Structure 1
Amino acid sequence: MDKLLLITGGSSGIGKQLAADLLASGATVIIVSERPDRLAQATAELSAISPNVRGIRCDVGDSDSVIQMREQVLSKYRCPDILINNAGFATYRTFENSNIEEIERLISVNLLGAMRCTMAFLPDMIARHSGTIVNMASIAGRLILTPNGTYCAAKHALVAWSETLRHELAHFNIQVNVICPGRVESPFFEHITFQNRAPRPEARHTIAIQDVSRATLRAISRNRFITYVPWSLGLLVWITNALPFLIKPIYGRLISSRIRSIYK
């Protein structure tokens, strides 16, 4: 793959695995992270796969930081052929126990971060009439999960925006893809609010980051709009929408049990 890719949240988890797989295929990859320690470590580790990796520090939750990142990329390289908006985080709090600063930060990173980065490179993609934008959403962007209401809201909005964007940009030969994985084995759950939660049976079922990476690259090559990892989650979404009278009461009981475990 003789292409230039930029991956936000590329220093760990899904982003880092994507970078590794893309470097192995011959691509040039720029990984972006707000944490300089992780960025340096990931860049060094990925360099063992290919020398065609670069790291740029950027906080996608900050507009000025994204502008500076864009200037670095365009001055040293060019507009990426593929932009993967992967940066994100979640918290494990009910809305009652949240604060507005935390909510604003979560939406700023998970939703507006993807918008900022897309806006940064979109004019160049439009000018050359080509490009790919991949937005890493979540099954939480298609189904509700508690107590992650703000995260669900951000990911639902990300999916809706992506679908609108896909139609708008088809005129310019720019494709938009959305990936909706379930619970992934990654540092994603490092936020302190996850540390003291009660054990949940469903938390034992995780998806390997390698599976998400493979599904993402397949979605790009086939220009598939929405991809669920695993595919069975897509079936669950379809059944929930097709038979809400049957599924939603069952799903509601699962959600209620999660809430009861929090307020014990």
Structure 2
Amino acid sequence: MSVTASNHKFDIEETTIRLANYIHNELGIPTIAHLPALYLTKAQVANILTALDQIGVTKILALRGDSIPDVAPQNDFQYATDLISFIKDKAPHLDIVGTCYPESHPDSPNQISDIKHLKKKVTAGCSSLVTQLFFDNDIFYDFQEKCQLADIEVPIFAGIMPIINRNQALRLFHTCDNIRLPRKFRAILDKYEHDPESLQAAGLAYAIDQIVDLVTQDVAGIHLYTMNNPQVANYIHHATYSLFKHSAV
């Protein structure tokens, strides 16, 4: 289970570390702690690494994090690669997961540039990657092939977000305008715009169909973006259990 931290929450000790400690040690569930560092100093990150180590959380999702309008960053970590290099220097035993974008990072001029930066991120110390959400598996397969051509050989986990209500879809359109929505997916949103129960059922079915296709194509694993909805995770797990026996989720 991953514990997400936002750049809008500056007190990582009271948010991510506290929750990761509960999940890892009280519930006994392996935990990945998100660490967005654009607004953190090197001293703060060093303290966070020590705290995570002390509670036994040894896997970190290292990322720059989103910029906050009118808030100046600390400038110790301009890119995720800077953070990854720092972690590897201070705590080389920690397992670092990086992020990647099948449809390119919004700030990247093109996918070639994006994959070059991704290669640097992996070289800096990422043991695996997890993608931004996507709704077209062909885009993921194309991205995966380009990574292989660039000698990016770490496992790439496919990020899947089940869309289960209209408000969730609207937030997605507002924050992720670089993501292509296939005709089939748009048809679901249009057809069930005023039918929330059918939209939820169709959204779950669409996500499960994506996962089935990915697993049969030997994807390294699936990362579910469930937005703090454990019922969604439970439903998808049971619906696809037999496929998950030999694939990480």
**Given the two structures, how large is their TM-score scaled by the length of structure 2?**
0.39
**Given the two structures, how large is their TM-score scaled by the length of structure 1?**
0.37
